């Protein structure tokens, strides 16, 4: 093995280890356990706000010389009236520490019940970079972006606690995208496109998989008709009328069949990247009067959490350097271009509205910049 290839192997091992550390931390958080997020000598005990219990908060208090506090995104702090700018995450403390009722109120806009006592006595400060990394970890786990944290004391840290570096959290999405590789492909005749195959991509840690639906025989020497489609369980599978996703998916495949070939990049980024459970929470808020963008902001997310580096990496692995991109969203055009894919043309992809998704489509146009 050459020195250069040996260095490449070592780098892949390091990247895989980093990805797995984040994956393990996410699993722990989702089941309500604490993890330790560290950067140099700084260490935080961290719990997912939506999975926390009073018992877990009390245990954290025993393992720290600091009362637990909650960290929320700037978006969530702003809608709570605790901050003016959505750009800066906030740490929220209270004398005696944060309790379960206050945590639930601050983290989840869908929680019923009155405002907890003592809410107005909270102290708000800017979150540190380490605390912001904790919020990124929540987003990677498709959890509400709010965390209960406390400084860790080395002498009382549980020996078996999962540890993860803040830098690995911050770089996770890029590392996972660049580590994508083809793991399987098969011929899958479709109703309107019999000459179709599905190609599966998986990152080095065995994490979230993305799919390419390849219609017809691709000629990489010409720009390939391509659609980036984020998975939508409710629209794609159930035929939900709240969005236009199902129509866009099936319409794209049908158009590619008529054109002779094309690729749908089916990304595992449900609900604009917030996950299915949070999308359902957003639906609940929409039924209470918020539009699709404001519902995401109420939950503490940005209006769109998706990343498109995985799409560019998939096209690279498929040997496709140039595309005709089937989209109404200029952001996708810019993202692919930044990641080295040449977008020759934006192909509009519009379908009739219905009484259930008219507001959704209007918000995409007026707030999301979609072209209709």
For residues 29-45, one letter each, b for 16 or more C-beta atoms within 10 angstroms of the residue's C-beta and e for the rest, the string is beeebbbbbbbeeebbb
Co-location of 159 and 191 in the same domain: no
pLDDT at 352: 80
Say if residue 138 is in the same domain as residue 186: no
Q: Comparing C-alpha atoms, which of 241, 186, 177, 240 is closest to residue 210?
A: 177
Q: What is the pLDDT of residue 281?
A: 97
Q: Is residue 193 part of a domain?
A: yes
The number of distinct structural domains making up the chain is: 2
In a domain, 74, yes or no: yes
Same domain for 155 and 100?
Answer: yes
Asked whether residue 135 falls in the same domain as residue 11, the answer is yes
pLDDT beneath 70, residues of the chain: 1-14, 113-120, 155-158, 362, 368, 371-372
Q: DSSP state, 19?
A: H
| 194 and 239 both lie in a single domain | yes
Tens digits of residue pLDDT in 220-235: 999 999 999 999 999 9
Are 161 and 177 a contacting pair, CB within 8 Å? no
pLDDT tens digit sequence for 204-221: 888 899 999 999 999 999
pLDDT at 2: 40
- Tell me, what's the pLDDT at 342? 97
- Whole domain around residue 234: which residue ranges? 180-269+306-366
Are 359 and 223 in the same domain? yes
- CATH number (domain holding residue 244): 3.40.50.10990
* 187 and 328 assigned to the same domain: yes
Does residue 372 form part of some domain? no
* Shared-domain flag, residues 231 and 87: no
Neighbour-count burial for 112-128, b at 16+ CB within 10 Å, e otherwise: eeeebeebeebeeeebb
State residue 3's pLDDT score.
Answer: 41
One domain for residues 254 and 329 = yes
For residue 16, the model assigns a pLDDT of: 84
Last residue of a domain, one of 130, 145, 170: 170
Q: Which of 306, 324, 338, 346 is catalytic?
A: 306
Q: Which listed residue (23, 168, 236, 304) is catalytic?
A: 304
Identify whether 304 is a catalytic site residue: yes
Q: According to the model, what pLDDT value does residue 146 have? A: 98
Cα–Cα distance for residue pair 150/276, rounded to 1 Å = 29
Q: SS3 of 276, please?
A: helix
pLDDT the model gives residue 230: 97
End residue of a domain, out of 122, 144, 170: 170
Asked whether residue 226 is assigned to any structural domain, the reply reads: yes
Q: Give DSSP secondary structure letters for 123-145.
A: EEEEPPHHHHHHHHHHHHTTS-S
Q: What is the dihedral of CA 60, 64, 68, 69, to 10 degrees?
A: -130
Catalytic, 306? Answer yes
């Amino acid at each position: 093995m050459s020195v250069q290839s040996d260095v490449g192997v070592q780098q892949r091992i390091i990247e895989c280890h980093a990805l797995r550390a984040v994956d393990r931390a996410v699993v722990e958080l989702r089941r309500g356990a604490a993890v330790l997020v560290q950067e140099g000598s700084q260490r935080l005990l961290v719990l997912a706000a939506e999975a926390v219990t009073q018992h877990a908060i009390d245990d954290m208090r025993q393992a720290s010389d600091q009362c637990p506090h909650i960290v929320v995104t700037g978006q969530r702090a702003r809608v709570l009236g605790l901050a003016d700018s959505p750009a800066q995450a906030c740490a929220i403390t209270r004398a005696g520490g944060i309790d379960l009722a206050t945590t639930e109120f601050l983290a989840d806009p869908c929680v019923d019940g009155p405002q907890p006592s003592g809410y107005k006595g909270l102290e708000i400060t800017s979150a540190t970079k380490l605390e912001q990394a904790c919020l990124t970890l929540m987003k990677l786990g498709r959890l509400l972006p709010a965390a209960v944290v406390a400084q860790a004391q080395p002498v009382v840290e549980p020996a078996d606690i999962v540890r993860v570096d803040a830098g690995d959290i911050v770089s996770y999405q890029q590392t996972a995208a660049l580590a994508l590789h083809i793991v399987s492909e098969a011929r899958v005749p479709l109703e309107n496109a019999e000459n179709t195959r599905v190609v599966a991509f998986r990152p080095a840690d065995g994490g979230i998989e993305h799919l390419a639906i390849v219609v017809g025989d691709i000629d990489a020497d010409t720009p390939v008709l391509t659609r980036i489609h984020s998975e939508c369980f409710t629209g794609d599978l159930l035929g939900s009328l709240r969005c236009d996703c199902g129509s866009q998916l099936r319409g794209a495949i049908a158009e590619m069949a008529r054109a002779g070939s094309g690729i749908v990049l089916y990304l595992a980024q449900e609900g604009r990247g917030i996950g299915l459970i949070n999308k359902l929470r957003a639906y609940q808020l929409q039924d209470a009067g918020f539009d699709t963008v404001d519902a995401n902001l109420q939950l503490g997310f940005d209006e769109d959490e998706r990343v498109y580096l995985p799409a560019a990496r998939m096209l690279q692995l498929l040997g496709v350097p140039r595309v005709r991109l089937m989209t109404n969203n200029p952001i996708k055009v810019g993202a692919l271009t930044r990641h080295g894919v040449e977008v020759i043309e934006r192909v509009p992809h519009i379908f009739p509205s219905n009484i259930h998704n008219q507001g959704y489509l209007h918000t995409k146009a007026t707030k999301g910049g979609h072209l209709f």
